[in-house]
Structure 1
Amino acid sequence: MVGERVQHRPFDLPLLLHLCLLHLGDSGQPHLTPQSPVEEAVSIQGVRGNSVELDCGSGPAPVVVLWSFTPLGSLVPRPVAVTDGTSSKVEAGASALGVVSLRNSSLVLGELQEGARGHFLCQALHVSGAQLHTTYSYLTLAVLVPVSKPQVQLSDPSPVEGASAVATCIVREGTEPVTFAWRHQTPRGPGETRLGITEPLLWLDPVDRTHLGWYVCSASNAVNRLSSDGVFLDVIYGPEKPVITVEPLGFTEEGFWASEKEEVTLSCMAESNPPSHYVWLRDDAQVHTGPTYVIASAGRTHTGLYTCLAHNTHLDTRTQTTVQLTIYYPPAGQPSCAVLPTLGAVTLLCAWPGGLPTAQLRWEGPQKTGPTAPSNVTWSHAAVGLPNGSVFTCTSQHPALALPTFCRVKIWEPPKSPICWTTATVGDQFIMLSCEWPGGEPPAVLRWLDRQQQPLGSASSSLAIHLLQAQGDLAGKEFTCQGSHPLRTPDPYCRLQLEAPHLAVAESRVSVLEGEEAWLECALQEGTPPAQLLWLGPQQQQVEPGTSGFVLHPAGAQLRLQIRDADPVHHRGTYQCVARNAVGNSSQSVLLEVLSEICLGFFWYPAPPNVTIRRLTYGRHRREVQLQWAIQGPGNLTSFLVQRRASGSGPGSGAWETAASDIDPESRGWRLGGLDPGVLYAFRILALNHHTAGYPSEVKTPVDPPFSAYPAVLGAAGTGMVVATVVSLLVFQYAARHPRTFPCEWESKEKDPAQESPDAPVNVTITVTATP
């Protein structure tokens, strides 16, 4: 900005003349005028950080230009820059003014600094004709500073309503004069409000809740205008007295009402900052926290006084409001009807308590109307001549119900007669006599009688129970349960007699080969239930579930004992199946023989080769089967043995019986007849070396052959024979291999050799091809 030019006295020129002479060199000596023109002083404004250009005046281009600067408060000028038109030089100390450069004769100050405030002098040497003369330009530079971004500080960010607060707008820098403006924004207001305050201080005295919100301060000067970030003034107040509303809205003289099973919403609002913490009380017991309490389905228990407590946790102040809520409801559920037997009559009961008001009840019978009463009504009706299946109805009416409700009672005789049974309790210390005669309305009355028809205990409905102390003299005693019903004559009864248990075993002697599994089976045949079945081992110890090598298989009145990997040392002996009930006990013995390889004189017969069943098919009408087999591995053999058993879980399903023996050692097939078509059989085959049996083959059940292939199957039975190589070992070799079992016991030739097992197990791979 160019201001008014001011006239100054000429400056001393010897230095400038010297510079001019240096510039002209030998071109001649110009004539200096005694007095040169002086430019008027100019005032210029620049903004810090921006650029400003200082003009050296008008006129022809000067030969030499010299710029100097005199800071405010100083009288000593400082050189800044000089140029002769072709070259220029900037004084190093001029960087305090900004980024200094020359543009022709003008001085350019970029990134203007506050240190550039002061007086600038431009001295220019001109050549006009044959004369040299100088001009002087005086400039005064004012550097303006923009206002910095204001910051608002609150004396108390969270004043309590009624106190005082001061908001201060702080501007770190800026050229005066600086003007201020304040704006206020409420949290829920429509927009900002200009407060009309132009001072840096905003006084709020006293503070009230309308002052809550954000405050923004704006500062401006000749250069710029900036606004602060909003600062929130949080005015603390409240809570006011709560206001309670109820939906759906219904008024009573005491307060509010709502219908049963409706959703009822109670809302509480109390002005407060910070927001109130709400607690709901029902009859002085806390039921909810929060401004809204929802009763999803109102019931009669929700009637009461509801209090909303509002708490300002910052001020620790509280207010409260209480209202009465009444739930209108009919009696809960449905009316209930019952009938009781009395001497020569039936007593009808109808009840439906509760409700506002109470329900009105009335009995109606097949031939007449009974009494009427609120809440409950009783009617005694004679049983004489009353038909079986008579229906009585109780009608219930209530103002809150559009239609009456009903309950009915049907008088009918229980079917059949009482049923008696016994149960042992508390470790068989007591015998519980139970008698039941289900059905009927009213329920039948039952009573236990001893052999002399004397009552045992009191009578009961539908189910009668009497406890007896368990003792041995109860065996054989008889007890009677007598029932009675208003529609039944004469009184029916049932009897029971207490008996000790009786047992039966599938086989009293079981023989298996060493290493195989044995099955011992027993079943409870008669006796007073319940009875406990258990097995005792050879040392009379009870076989418990989980005992190594033993598995118990209970099945109703049966208990099967499975002995895996039979060992003559540990498993051979007499086992006892024991049955116990509260009256007595009984037992049956089973001898288990575990057979090992047989020694004959001084010669031991080694185990024969293993056998694999290749084909097992039914013949005509399933009364015979065709069996084909093959041998595996080395060994000598003298014959084959075929065994069968009935598959299933019956008492005899685990016992093998010999179906064919002394089969020629060169045979590889056999036909077995005499089968029951209704029984599913399982078969296995063993190879024998004199009295030493090999491992049994896999167990198979026969299949039906294809119709077209049946003759071929029969023909193949006689052609698939394989001859095994006989290997004999001396008894001394056996002794060397089996020092613990030599000498072995003599076994009877009459024993089934198929029950013997070889000393060492042989792995057998079974491949089965079956036609469904």
Structure 2
Amino acid sequence: MVGLCAHHRPFRCQLLMLFCLLHPGASDQARSTSSTPGEKALSIQGVRGSSVELDCRPGPAPVAVLWSFTPLGSLVLQPVAVTNGASSRVESWAKALGVVSLRNSSLVIEELREGARGHFLCQTLLVSGGQIHTTYLYLTLAVLVPVSKPRVHLSDPSPIEGVSVVATCAVREGTEPLTFSWHHHTPQGPEEFLVGLSEPRLQLDPVNRTHLGWYRCSVSNAVNQLSSDGAFLNVIYGPDKPVITVEPLGFAEDGFWASEREEVTLSCQAASNPPSHYVWFRDDAQVHTGPTYLIASASRTHTGLYTCLAHNSHLDTHTQTTVQLTIYYPPKGRPSCAVLPTLGGVTLLCSWPGGFPKAQLHWEGPQGNGPTAPSNVTWSYTATGLPNGSIFSCMGQHPTLATPVLCTVTLWEPPGSPTCWTTATVGDQFIMLSCEWPGGDPPAMLSWLDRQQTLGDPSSSPAVYLLQAQSDLAGREFTCQGSHPLKGPSSHCQLRLEAPQLAVAEPRVSVLEGEEAWLGCALQQGTPPAQLLWLGPQQQPLEQSTYGFVLHPEGTHLRLQVRDADPAHHRGTYQCVARNALGNSSQSVLLEVLSECKGCVCSCGYPAPPNVTISRLTYRRQRREVQLQWAIYGPGNLTGFLVQQRASVPGSEAGAWEVAARDIEPESRDRRLGGLDPGVLYAFRILAMNHHTAGHPSEVKTPVDPAFSVYPAVLGAAGTGMAVALVASLLVFQYAARHPHTLPCTETAAATSGSDPAQESTDAPVNVTITVTATPE
């Protein structure tokens, strides 16, 4: 055994000695079957902090195992652990390798340390065939260190755009080889991998705004991979030239436009870090601070130059941009269309002035499109073959309006034919010839002709021509010739200039004193306008303001009302005068005011005539004539009778009294009166006349239908009628005697003077006959 130990290293000797102690007498039989140190060692890798198992790979179970370790760079072999199968021992210094233990013949190292990097020798003793065998196994353990978390360092975290910046990725430890990768994450975008950069240094030369963001590096080796936290590179730049936008967006030739009363937003954006401060100016006057300028309701005063000033407070730099903002507004109202006649056609006019910019107008017709122009557009159109009712449209467009605005013109033929009339002007010095043909569109063209000679220029309806008033114009005829684009043959009207001609209602009018008189005259012919007026007995013009007279103009009639007729002031001849620019004419009316007696001798110097009563008043010939019979009673002289009538319509007031018959012979007691209207209710009364003195009017009666000629009925009624008439006559005389002021003419002139009637009266005696007419029921 001692010889054997001499040929082996101390550790082997220890192992052999251990073997000899366990197996006495076996020394002489020992054989060595070892692998030489020159043999290639097995390589094993372990990771620091983890565990690794070194296996001797024995065949049969060994008698003893001895593990030894030689650190890298050293030649000293140090025992680590030994085991004989029953017991084992680990050297205390082995803690430098980690937590070491034996598992059968394998050496297990947990919590591996970097000091375990080196060469391990495993020696085993085996007994086989009664001989001792020794085996050797060399192992090389490589301890790998994981990379630590890297850290990014920036040479300048806040550089100004354009300088050079270096980013360095530093790692404290890790087994090489190490692999580096760089990642860039901008604030607005996703993280990106910087391809081709596998170095621990990242050179940004020159740095620009696109480099702004977080930079992160990743380091990896055979064990692991770790990434750093992001390092923010804040690149300082700007401001760039501002960009101005306008909402709602409307581009004009020199800038932007917006509609009046619209909300307008002006936005300014200038790239800058740190962000820019903004100031707004309008025509060099500051109006706002901030990136957005809001105009709540735009008006025309907001038109101008808007400047946005961007300022970088860090660099103390600024830039600016100016734009033109124009406020558009449409014209007021709607387009107006008109059409004028021309020779053989029409001229279409469309106008829509105002607004900014000017509205574009465009004509469209039934046979195609017309011209286009701003504000005003005219289209000359040949109207040949156009049907009546053709429509032309003018379309107005403006940028501020969503839809076009239209006006239309419809061409119509004027109905009928022209109408002519005349008017006197400037105190009847001129005669205005007027002609109108209304209702057409365009209006008709009219021309005045005098014996085929054109007077003046043609004009649209109405057409007017002035003539100097002179007498030789009377009897002349003038023609108004009319034409229209849609109408074939021309139409015309004619007028004849005439001096006025008059007619009076009655040339003689009689009225009782104190009553109303009506004088009437009418213009029968003559060129209008003609002036009608009345002249009084003294040839003075009578007006509405003349006391006691009232004028009633009714078209071509002029009636004169004389109120409270007075013989001293109103009796006489009145003249109705008609005047026009071509001459004048007149007609006379004699007004008789009959005096009514106020006593037995009238103021006119004649005795009062007797009173009259109507005895019969009946219709004849379909109520167009009446038969009037009367009787007189009481004393008095008479020279004739006067019958008056008045008409009244049911439901209205009665008219004025008019003379129905005058100068009736004094011996007459009946009269047939004609010229009545069957639809009018008439009333009649009769007065006895003594020259110009009128007696008291009779009672008022209306005519009745004629009675049947039946004798018994007449005779039967006659007796009763005579009795009634006798009583009525007595009552009348008695009343007249007691009230002479009411019936003044019931007394004779002789009774008033106290003289004898027979001596005073020169007239023939008057017989009074009372006639009673009975009508059977």
TM-score (norm 2): 0.45
Query: Quick check: which has more Rg, 1 or 2?
Result: 2
Structure having the higher helix fraction is: 2
